[in-house]
Structure formats: C-alpha cells, structure tokens
C-alpha cells in the first residue's frame, strides 16, 4: 500500500482501512509500538474484532461523520491496547483513493501526558449508547452499506445468542446479512434499503450463534446524508418465533380440519343469517350442485316448500332466544327436482366476531324410502296392493277418535263378494 509506505516513518499512529467495510489493509510501525498489536494480527480484520474501540458506539459515530462529511478531525477517543490498557488521544479520518480503491486513512494522535488506564476503569460515554440502545427491548443495529455491522445493542446480541454486543460484532461485524438463513433475502433487503425503501414488519429467519433458526420481525431504513449518499442502515429486530409457530400450528390445524371436512362423506355447511357462506363437496354433491353454486344462496331456495314453514319457526325461536332443537329432519330439493330427506345437526359458532350457524347434513332418503316400503307392506296386500285388515283397523281407530272428539258419527260399510273367500284362502 503506497499510503502506508508513505507514513511508515511517521511517529503518529497510522492505519489504512477498506472504505466499504472498515477492514484493516495496513498499519505503520508506530501503530505496532503504541498498541502492542503486530501487523499480522491486525491486517484483514475489523477494529471491533480485535477490541480496538472500547466504546461500542464509537465506530458508529466515526462512520456517520465520515460518510456524511468525507472526513472527521480530532475526534476524542481511547485506543485499546493489546495488554488491555487504554491510550487516550484524538482520531482524524478521511476517505482517500489508493490504486483505484476507496480507503479510509486514519491518523491517531495519542496524548503523551496521560498514562494508560486499565480498560475496566475507563469511563465509556453512555449518553448516546444508553438512551438509544440499553433501554430497548428490541434488538437495534446500525450497519454499513458495505455489509458490516457498525453497532448493536444488548437486546440484539441476546436475540442472536451472543453474550454481549462486542461478542456479536467480533464474530459477525463484517457481514450483517450473514445473520439471515436465506442469503437471497438478505441481498433483497440490502437492495431495497439502498433504493430508499423503508421496511416495516419484514419477516425473516435468522440464525443464532448456536445454529438455531428463529423468526424475527424487522424494521429498517437507510440514513442519507445531505448530498444524498447513504450514511448507514439502522433497524430493529423483534423475536417473533413463538408467534410464528403458533400461527403455523393454527394453519396446520385449519388445513387438517379443512382436509377432513372437504373429504368427509357427510355434508358440512356454514351460514351467516339465512345464506350459506360455505358448503363442502359432500353437501353440494348431495343436491347436484358445485360448492360455489351453494355459497350465497338462501337456505329456502334448496328446501322443499312444505318444509319451509317449520324451518322458519325454528329461526324465529332462535332469534327470540327460545330453545331450538340441534338435531332435526327436513326435506331438501335436488337440482333435478327430486326430494332429498336429510338429518341435520346445527349449532351457533362465532367467526371473526360474527355469529354463524354451522352444521352437518346426512342424506337419509334411502332410509326413509325403506321405512315407507315397510309400512306399505305391513298395511297392504302384497298381491293386490290393496289396504289390508291392519290398515283398515288403524284407519277405523283414528276415525273413531276424531268422531268422539268432534261428537260426530262414523259409518262402516261391509261388502260381500261371492267366492272371495276361496281367492283369499288360496292366493292370500
């Protein structure tokens, strides 16, 4: 590096960093003497990775000023040495071009009249950091357009499974998008932020330090300078893993329920007021319709006319708060016009804050037809199809009951058929 070579003999601490992400490209001999770090320990690494800045927010402030004004002069700072002690001084930084590459030229003037103090005793300015980061329950970060984290708060470190912001920055400081499970998602987020888009409640999966994958909701934006250049990105993360897992469990449950309902051999419906809002395949097929042809229909449109009055009475009782049977039989009309006897089980349910009726429908037409045939054969002669003695006796008893109630008379007529006894005895 020509810049490093030019200042190799300088007594001031000099370092050159890559402009996109802040990685050290070179340092001079004074840097080695003053910090105790060898060049091979520094070059290719971020300052935060070797613990050079004790203040977690200092790096963010440097880059904010640098990207806004292209330079920063005499910023008060403390340099952390390899032995853990701090050297107070002032930092001046400026963008420069070297061999076609944008670099950051750093010059540190260490105060000769102040002795180094242990890092544990150093007072870290906390006005900016504490007010913005420490009290926040959500993870907060700043990152460079080049991809590296500038600063993160303790909540951000906890969300990603790190013990401290410094630990997170040391491990992932050079590539903020590496936290995303899907690299393509990270690239899309980066591109949208560069385009000036503000992201709100953006869901993504991120990987914790232990390899566990969690869901987060992210809000982020780009901060622009007066000249329109992107200074840095800032954003926040909230761990929504429990919420997403609950939503996914609900979706699985709904999917399972819908699969069961759709493939059920029993008709299932949902009504809002007097109209169907849902009908499964079995119910629609029972009446010769498609599911979508039943949705929106008034239930009376598919009900036998003689069954409507009783159904309307049930509706009136329900609206009046009177008890209504949950199970009953009714008669519907097939698309082709034939009557379909059904057994219905129905009950109220609250959907999206609105009361609906949901129920099941079982086709009992064959059962009713079989019962009707049994009744017919029990009361009619199998040969002639004429009513037999059992039906005659039943009808006579009913007529006598009505006559007594109305105080009227009942006439009974006997007819004698010649030689009918022979027919009856031989042919039944």
DSSP for 150-219, please give it. EEE-HHHHHHTT-SSHHHHHHHHTT-GGGGBSSHHHHHHHHHHHHTTPPEEEEEEEEE-TTS-EEEEEEE
pLDDT of res. 305? 94
Are 10 and 98 found together in one domain?
A: yes
pLDDT of res. 135? 61
What gap in Å lies between CA 340 and CA 323, rounded to an integer? Answer: 26
**Is residue 123 over pLDDT 50?**
no
- Residue that is written with structure tokens 């009227």 in the block: 408
Are 189 and 288 found together in one domain?
A: no
Residue 415, in any domain of the structure: yes
Mean pLDDT of 144-153: 81
Are 271 and 244 found together in one domain?
A: no
Percent of the chain residues topping a pLDDT of 90: 29
**Cα 209 to the center of its chain, rounded Å:** 24
Residue 374, in any domain of the structure: no
Are 32 and 117 found together in one domain?
A: yes
What gap in Å lies between CA 3 and CA 97, rounded to an integer? Answer: 10
The two tokens of residue 81 are 């040495």
Could you give the number of structural domains in the chain?
A: 4
Domain end, chosen from 260, 287, 310, is at 260
pLDDT of res. 56? 60
Percent of the chain residues topping a pLDDT of 70: 90
If one counts every other C-beta atom within 10 angstroms of the C-beta of residue 380, the result is 15
Identify the H or E element spanning 110. strand 101-110
Residue 140, in any domain of the structure: yes
Pairing of strands 267-272, 13-18: unpaired
The closest alpha carbon to 84, from 36, 16, 140, 146, belongs to 36
What gap in Å lies between CA 386 and CA 129, rounded to an integer? Answer: 101
User: 292-314 pLDDT, tens per residue?
Assistant: 999 999 999 999 999 999 999 99
Of the two residues 172 and 364, the one the predictor is more confident about is 364
The closest alpha carbon to 7, from 94, 126, 74, 114, belongs to 94
What gap in Å lies between CA 143 and CA 135, rounded to an integer? Answer: 20
CA dihedral 223, 229, 232, 237 (to 10 degrees): 50
Are 167 and 251 found together in one domain?
A: yes
CATH number, position 27: 3.30.450.20
Residue 340, in any domain of the structure: yes
User: 377-394 pLDDT, tens per residue?
Assistant: 777 777 677 787 787 888
Handedness of CA 373, 375, 378, 383 (dihedral sign): negative
Domain end, chosen from 234, 260, 286, is at 260
* CA end-to-end distance (rounded Å), the chain: 122
Are 78 and 187 found together in one domain?
A: no
Residue 325, in any domain of the structure: yes
pLDDT of res. 85? 82
Are 104 and 162 found together in one domain?
A: no
pLDDT of res. 296? 93
The two tokens of residue 342 are 């059904």
Are 116 and 149 found together in one domain?
A: no
pLDDT of res. 5? 56
User: 152-169 pLDDT, tens per residue?
Assistant: 888 999 999 999 888 888
* Sheet arrangement for strand 339-351: 275-279, 267-272, 354-363, 339-351, 327-333
Residue 372, in any domain of the structure: no
What gap in Å lies between CA 271 and CA 276, rounded to an integer? Answer: 4
Are 408 and 314 found together in one domain?
A: no
How sure is the predictor about 124, in pLDDT bands with cuts at 50, 70 and 90? Answer: very low
Mean pLDDT of 31-46: 89
Domain end, chosen from 196, 226, 260, is at 260
**Comparing 129-133, 272-276, 349-353, which segment has the lowest mean pLDDT?**
129-133
Residue 381, in any domain of the structure: no
Are 41 and 133 found together in one domain?
A: no
Looking from the CA of 135 toward its CB, the CA atoms found within 13 Å total 6
Mean pLDDT of 200-223: 93
**Is residue 226 over pLDDT 80?**
no
Q: Which domain holds residue 166?
A: 126-260
Of the two residues 100 and 56, the one the predictor is more confident about is 100
pLDDT of res. 128? 47
For the entire predicted model, the pTM comes to 0.52
Are 238 and 196 found together in one domain?
A: yes
Check if the beta carbon of residue 120 is closer than 8 Å to that of residue 213.
no
**Is residue 257 over pLDDT 80?**
no
User: 76-105 pLDDT, tens per residue?
Assistant: 888 888 888 888 888 888 888 777 778 888
pLDDT of res. 133? 52
**Is residue 9 over pLDDT 70?**
no
Of the two residues 55 and 291, the one the predictor is more confident about is 291
Q: Which residues contact 279 (CB under 8 A, 6 or more apart)?
A: 267, 268, 269, 270, 289, 291, 294, 295
Residue 301, in any domain of the structure: yes
Mean pLDDT of 27-47: 88
What gap in Å lies between CA 51 and CA 307, rounded to an integer? Answer: 84
pLDDT of res. 129? 45
Rg of the chain over all Cα atoms, to the nearest angstrom:
43
What is the helix, strand, coil percentage profile of the chain, to 5? 40, 30, 30
Q: What is the DSSP string of 305-334?
A: GGGHHHHHHHHHHHHTT----SEEEEEEE-
How sure is the predictor about 118, in pLDDT bands with cuts at 50, 70 and 90? Answer: very low
The two tokens of residue 221 are 């934006």
Summary mean pLDDT of the chain: 82
- Burial (CB count within 10 angstroms: exposed 0-12, middle 13-18, buried 19+), residue 408: exposed
Of the two residues 5 and 144, the one the predictor is more confident about is 144
Are 272 and 357 found together in one domain?
A: yes
């Amino acid at each position: 590096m020509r810049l490093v070579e030019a200042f190799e003999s300088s007594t001031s601490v000099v370092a050159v960093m890559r402009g996109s992400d802040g990685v050290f490209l070179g340092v001079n001999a004074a840097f080695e003497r003053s910090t105790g770090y060898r060049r091979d320990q520094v070059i290719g690494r971020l300052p935060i990775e070797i613990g050079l800045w004790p203040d977690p927010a200092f790096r963010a402030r440097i880059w904010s000023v640098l990207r806004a004004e292209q330079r920063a002069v005499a910023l008060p700072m403390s340099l952390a040495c390899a032995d853990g002690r701090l050297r107070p001084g002032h930092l001046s930084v400026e963008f420069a071009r070297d061999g076609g590459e944008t670099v950051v030229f750093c010059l540190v003037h260490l105060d000769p009249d102040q002795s180094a103090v242990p890092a544990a005793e150093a007072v870290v300015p906390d006005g900016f950091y504490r007010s913005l980061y420490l009290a926040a329950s959500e993870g907060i970060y700043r990152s460079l357009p080049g991809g590296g984290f500038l600063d993160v708060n303790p909540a951000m470190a906890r969300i990603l499974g790190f013990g401290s912001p410094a630990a997170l920055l040391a491990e992932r400081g050079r590539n903020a998008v590496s936290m995303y499970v899907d690299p393509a998602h990270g690239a899309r987020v980066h591109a949208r932020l560069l385009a000036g888009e503000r992201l709100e409640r953006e869901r993504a999966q991120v990987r914790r330090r232990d390899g566990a994958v969690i869901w987060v909701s992210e809000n982020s934006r780009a901060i622009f300078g007066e000249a329109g250049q992107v200074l840095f990105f800032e954003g926040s993360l909230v761990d929504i893993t429990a919420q997403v897992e609950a939503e996914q469990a609900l979706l699985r449950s709904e999917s399972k329920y819908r699969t069961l309902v759709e493939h059920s051999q029993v008709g299932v419906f949902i009504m809002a007021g007097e109209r169907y809002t849902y009908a499964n395949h079995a119910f629609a097929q029972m009446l010769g319709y498609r599911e979508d042809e039943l949705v929106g229909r008034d239930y009376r449109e598919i009900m036998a006319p003689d069954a409507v009055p009783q159904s309307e009475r049930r509706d009136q009782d329900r609206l009046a708060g009177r008890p209504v049977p949950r199970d009953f039989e009714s008669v519907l009309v097939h698309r082709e016009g034939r009557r379909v006897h059904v057994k219905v089980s129905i009950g109220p349910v609250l959907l999206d804050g609105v009361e609906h009726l949901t129920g099941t429908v079982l086709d009992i037409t064959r059962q009713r037809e079989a019962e009707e045939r049994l009744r017919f054969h029990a009361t009619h002669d199998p040969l002639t199809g004429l009513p037999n003695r059992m039906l005659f006796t039943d009808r006579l008893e009913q007529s006598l009951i009505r006559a007594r109630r109305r105080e009227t008379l009942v006439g009974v007529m006997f007819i004698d058929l010649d030689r009918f006894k022979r027919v009856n005895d031989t042919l039944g």
